[in-house]
Amino acid sequence: MLARQAPQQGVFLEDLAFQAQQAAEKAIKAAYLRLGLAFRYTHDLEELLAGLEGTGCTIPAAVRESITLTRFAVEARYPSPAEPLSPDELQEAIHLAQTVLEWASQVISSQV
């Protein structure tokens, strides 16, 4: 996951948080594809997880926490009056994304 890379000079932590969100989003969408399900084109992780849950897929609480990453899908990519992201906030984003990646990997491999 690109977000785990050590921040280089000139790289905003928000950009890395965006990469964490993208990793989670793509992992969830990969689970949809593996299960043969369609999804609406969205960056909203809550919507995507709810859609999977609606088909009977179990979403663990730790994965559900990842919905907070949705704010990085758009907000973090553009200049805004929001406070800069702290290193701790970035680490939390990375942790959440990693949790989703591990869960999605299990969903995908259990459907073989």
In whole angstroms, what is the distance from residue 5 CA to residue 11 CA? 11
Structure tokens at 105: 């990997």
Total domain count for the chain? 1
**Tokens standing for 2?**
């690109």
Model pLDDT for residues 1-60, shown as the tens digit of each residue: 555 556 566 678 888 999 999 999 999 999 999 999 999 999 999 999 999 999 999 999
- What confidence category does residue 71 fall into, taking pLDDT thresholds of 50, 70 and 90? very high
Q: What is the mean pLDDT of residues 56-78?
A: 89
pLDDT score recorded for residue 80: 67
Q: What is the pLDDT of residue 9?
A: 67
Could you tell me if residue 3 is inside a domain? no
Q: Which of 80, 18, 45 is nearest to 7 (CA)?
A: 18
Quick check: is 65 in a domain?
Answer: yes
Instruction: Give the pLDDT confidence score for residue 27 in this predicted structure.
Output: 97
CATH number for the domain that contains residue 19:
1.20.120.330
pLDDT, tens only, 81-102: 678 889 999 999 999 999 999 9
Alpha-carbon distance of 104 to 75, in angstroms, equals 25
Nearest to 84 by CA among 22, 7, 23, 15: 15
Q: Which domain holds residue 22?
A: 12-110
Look up the pTM and report it: 0.88
